[in-house]
Structure 1
Amino acid sequence: MPNRPTVSIRFSAAEIAARVDVMAGELAAKLPADTLVVSVLKGSFVFAADLIRALSLAGADWSMDFLTLSSYGSATETSGSVRIVRDIVDDVRNRDVLLVDDILESGLTLSFAKKLLLERNAHRVWVCTLLDKPGKRRTTLVADFVGFQAGDEFLVGYGLDWAHRFRGLPYIGVVEKTG
């Protein structure tokens, strides 16, 4: 691929795997046995897949569903308007829901998703993100479970993309500026 940017490793595949295993143990110990995992697509699919396998090994055999949301606005700034592209199928009434996403930045999308599930009478909605960028927050949302804190760098890999590229990297990296 011509002019492919350089990506330096920020969190290695081994670091991510170890952290996901620890998070799964914490989740299995704290959340009820009938918790529903709702993965916010597209970015969280790699994290959610590893997390659900780790949860199974930790003794939590939870069901899983998927929610695809879209934010309007330019590629670098969100307008705060979120729409449902693909809705969940499972009924959340009176259930604990673990909302899983790859990264918590502005908080607008996850706040929308959490509010939506609570309006549908979920008992409680827990927020679990692999990465948290508190410096980018535009809401008061705080994740209940976080893999890693991150700064303002632009991260790719392990599901995170840049113009639909780099999702398949087994690690999380920083796109290096060229030129």
Structure 2
Amino acid sequence: MEESIEACLIGRGESYIREAEQSKDASEAEKKFREALNYLESIEARNENAVSILRRRASDGLIDSMIRQAKEKMGEAEKLFGEGKYYDSKELYRETWEYLSRVEEEAARLKSASHLQKIANLKDVCNRNISKITTAMLDVRPVGDLRLETVDDVVKGKARVDVGEVAAEVTGSPSEKLKEEYGNIEYIGSGGFADVR
């Protein structure tokens, strides 16, 4: 008799998770995964292995749904930037970064380590885009040439620092640049007591 009650309790938890997994809306899925986790933490079962597997599924689903929400916010920020609403875009990236920090804490609490790198990557992209937008807002050059890193870049693994912008400024060897600026460069020795002429 106890085994059939336990099977019903576990089955109910699995149905909560299945319902959450089928939810198309990320915030609704988050709510349902939280309900499933709360339920699974409240039941006592002798088959702890089955409950543990369901808790892991619910935890992973919860973090996935939260990451989906962050990506949606980043997409909105990209859209705002495209519409020329730079300040609003920057603020939404900042809010998304803060939200991702809370997601990171939740993932650590739930011991969902597989998501931590993905969250860190999204936070990095938010940081870089905030910096790019801030620079564009303060600089006198047109913003049209500025390219933000998009959510699709993160998904495809293309998000990274654009070294092309930096490389354009750093050409030639350092000694060539010094020779251009100062003319003749001579080695005078080393140490604090070198004879300087």
Normalising by structure 2, report the TM-score: 0.19
Which of the two has higher C-alpha Rg? 2
Normalising by structure 1, report the TM-score: 0.20
More helix by share: 2
